[in-house]
Amino acid sequence: MSLAHVKNRWNDVLDDLERKNRVAWLAFFDARLVSLQGNQLRLSFVDAEKFSGSHNFSAARKPEFIAALETSINAVLGSSLVIITE
């Protein structure tokens, strides 16, 4: 699987996540897909810091929300990927 393939289906992944867990969706909807190495998908949230004031929601990306995202990725793409955030 390539990063381009994941990017092409990312909105489908987010739609699946939103249906299952809207709070988890809120934690990841603004993620930028950075790289895919093996089964590790690296996400960046640098754009979350571009607004004036505090808009950094890194604390909201709880392990259970990461697990929910990984489940949605598996459901949509048929592959088990591990999420790495930066």
pLDDT, one tens digit per residue, over 46-80 is 765 555 544 555 556 789 999 999 999 999 999 99
- Euclidean distance between CA atoms 56 and 79, whole angstroms: 29
Q: What are phi and psi of 43, to 5 degrees?
A: -115, 145
pTM, 2 dp: 0.85
**Which structural domains are found in the chain, ordered by start?**
3-85 (3.30.300)
Residues with Cβ within 8 Å of residue 79, at least 6 apart in sequence = 1, 39, 73
- Confidence band for 45, pLDDT divided at 50, 70 and 90: confident
pLDDT, one tens digit per residue, over 74-83 is 999 999 999 9
Token couple for 65:
């929300």
